[in-house]
Chains A and B, each alone.
Chain A
Amino acid sequence: MGIRQFRLIVAALSAVVLLAAGCGDEGDGAAEQDGEGPFTIGLSNGFVGSEWRTQMVEDVQQVFDEYQQEGLVDELIVESADVDVNGQIQQIRNLISAGVDAIIVNPNSETALNAVFQEAVDQDILVIATDQAVSSEVVTNVVIDQEEWGRRNAEWLAAELGEGGQIVAINGIAGHPANEARWTGASAVFEEAGIEVLTEGNADWDQATAQQTMSDLLATYPDLDGVFTQDGMALGVYQALEANDLLGQVIQTGEARAEFMFNWQEQLEQDTGFRSIGVVNPPGVAGSALRVAVHMLQGEELGEDALDGNTLFVPIPGEVTNDNFAEWFAEVEGQNPAYVVDGMLTEEEAAEYFA
């Protein structure tokens, strides 16, 4: 009996809450996309565990400040935390509830945010995905071409080794879209150039795992000529090669990050014959995305040539090699070891996409 009564209380309470919900203001809180500023911008970032993402947020802030001085934007709401996809859906829903005009998102999933993007677009909010493209057709992607990134690394390695060269690949997380795109680009080049890929392993973008994997692979394949790898794993590969006294003999792809470049610089100073490549993967791509967003909010439309489907590929800012090393090294010298070589669209370059 007591229980029944308690349940009654619970039911009554629920009814009150639901009534309040029902009576609540039906407005969605989102501003209309009327082409007139100042605009409120939301940034959703679902991962904070890397300097790359920190730089990304800073780059967005920098572009935002520039627009704020022109009076085009008034508020930047940054949602940056380690979340899974469900957590990022919640981030985006909060941005929608906060009434932003545009959402810049570095998505944790290529597909699984599509439903919440639709919620945003239904409320006239512009959604731009950056760094990682999404499959939703209501979203504009502003990214670098990861396939090209893989291709440029592979072309350099293939040219260094020549036909018949034997390599191993140490890739990121299996099934991760950027990993798959990069490897698609790279493996095609290797096939074309007659480079033999002995094996492909995954070290999940983890430096220590990459070092361990590389040591194992060196024991398995003593006749190795080269290694294809990505991002922070390059330093792990470097350390394994160094431990086995193989730097300059087994040629590896590298990265355009300060810590790797410090080691590279040391090798150059000692003239050990070490050579590598660091194709830039700029955090500033998110700043480029904000430029595109502000143009779109003002009612401008992207030119036909600018888009590939719903994706705008911004150019890769460049690649670090032995030939141009000094030039790039000037940018990272004295920086935090985790600093990544950066670059983003200028206002003029962004405007050209709308011509």
Chain B
Amino acid sequence: MIDRAVRSLTVGMRRGLVPGLTVTTLLLITVAVNALLAPNFFSSYSVISNFSSFVPLVAASIAQTIVVLGGGIDLSLGALITLSSVMSVVLMEGDPGRLPLAVAVAIGVGAAGGLLNGLIVAFLRLQPIVATFAMSFVFAGITLKVLPQPGGQVPAVMTTTYRDSVIGIPVAALVIAGLYGLWWVVKRSTLGRHLYAVGGDERAAYASGVRVNQVRVMSYVLGGTFGGVAALAILANTGSGDPYVGAAVGTALIGGQTTLASIAAVVIGGTALRGGVGGAGGSIGGAVILALVSNIVFFAGISGGYRQLINGAIVIAALALTAVPAFRRSPA
């Protein structure tokens, strides 16, 4: 029985369907430590609020994973998410009747921004790291045009549903499960397979008839689409619009913090930044770990200034652990 479980675990990991051992170990540790330190970790408020805190970064890290798997990187992700959120909130004006429109706009803006990134990277052949960094300022500029100052109102139904639970399961947890399901569909599709192929070895993929440029464009479009979901989660979590929602205070780099955290989550999750190896399951774990670490730092009474240091140490530890043979995952 155990044997079979271990074997299925290995098979699952090889297929990249489930988070690798590194991220699973880290996740279990952070959950356990958090539960020990936080007095009401399992209270309904704590469970719901924790899951609510996870969703925006979970969606952003899936978005980043898809782009990274295809051999790219998206440094404009945070800015694009912010742009989607402000466009959506400006159109909503707190009116529940406009919710479907607002959802469509958030997703649409994300996808369109991703398309733009993809076309620039694939056809202008600019380095993704430079091209998307430049695009982050374009998205940031539009964001400030659309919503120059914090404002806008999310309909109450959106913020309350987000904090609700269905038969004891937080809605936010269901959203995360749904996002994982969507990722699973993407991964199993032809496009998903091509994504891994292009990220793994572009020339080999090209030689075997994969339309490389098309796949790269689609990786950014899909990334942007998940970014649109992140935007909606931010709106549901915050209840309002703010152009600096994903930025560290005192910096004008719109969405900068979101972008960096999404990349950290991808790395912790075991997706190789060179592309082609990994999966969003690990990144989801990475995003949750980052959030739980903040909680641990808080409840352990450690000065908040150490949070960044600990986050950095975890990213390094995750990278180091992948070098230990027992933790090494076979390439997907």
- Residues of A whose CB lies within 8 Å of any CB of B are 1-3, 5-7, 9-10, 18, 20-29, 46-50, 78-87, 89-91, 93-94, 96-99, 108-116, 118-119, 123, 135, 173-177, 180, 202, 204-205
A47 touches B250 (CB 8 A): yes
B49: shortest Cβ distance to chain A, in Å? 4
Q: Contact between B257 and A24 (Cβ–Cβ < 8 Å)?
A: no
Question: Which of B12, B154, B168 makes the CB contact (< 8 A) with A3?
Answer: B12
The answer to whether B244 and A5 touch across the interface, beta carbons within 8 angstroms, is no
15 contacts between A and B (CB under 8 A): A3-B15, A9-B9, A10-B18, A29-B43, A47-B248, A83-B257, A84-B244, A90-B294, A96-B49, A99-B39, A111-B242, A112-B241, A112-B242, A119-B163, A180-B149
Quick check: B53 and A89 within 8 Å, CB to CB? yes
Cβ-closest chain A residue relative to B234:
A86
B299 contacts which chain A residues (CB < 8 A)? 94, 98
Question: Does chain A have a CB within 8 A of B169?
Answer: yes
A86 touches B47 (CB 8 A): no
| Residue tally, chain B, CB below 8 Å to A | 68
CB of B235, distance to nearest CB on chain A (Å): 9
Measured between alpha carbons, how far is A226 from B42 in the docked complex, in Å?
60
Q: Report B75 CB to chain A, min CB distance, Å.
A: 16
B273 at the interface (CB under 8 A from A): no
Instruction: Choose from B38, B150, B257, B304 the contact partner of A112 (Cβ within 8 Å).
Output: B150
Given contacts A94-B298, A109-B150, A177-B149, contact A204 B252 (CB under 8 A): yes
B127: chain A residues within 8 A (beta carbon)? none
Contact B53 A93 (CB under 8 A): yes
Q: B8: which of A3, A86, A116 is its contact (CB, 8 Å)?
A: A3
A1 to B299, CA, bound (A): 42
Chain B residues positioned under 8 Å from A89 (CB to CB): 53, 237-238
| Chain A residues within 8 Å of B144, by CB | 174-175
B244 touches A85 (CB 8 A): yes
Q: Which chain A residues lie closer than 8 Å to B249 at the CB level?
A: 46-47, 49, 82-84, 108
For the complex, give the distance between the alpha carbons of A79 and B298 in Å: 7
Q: Is the CB of A26 within 8 A of B238?
A: no
| A22 x B168 contact (CB < 8 A) | yes
Chain A nearest Cβ from B298, distance in angstroms: 5
- Say if the beta carbon of B243 comes within 8 Å of chain A: yes
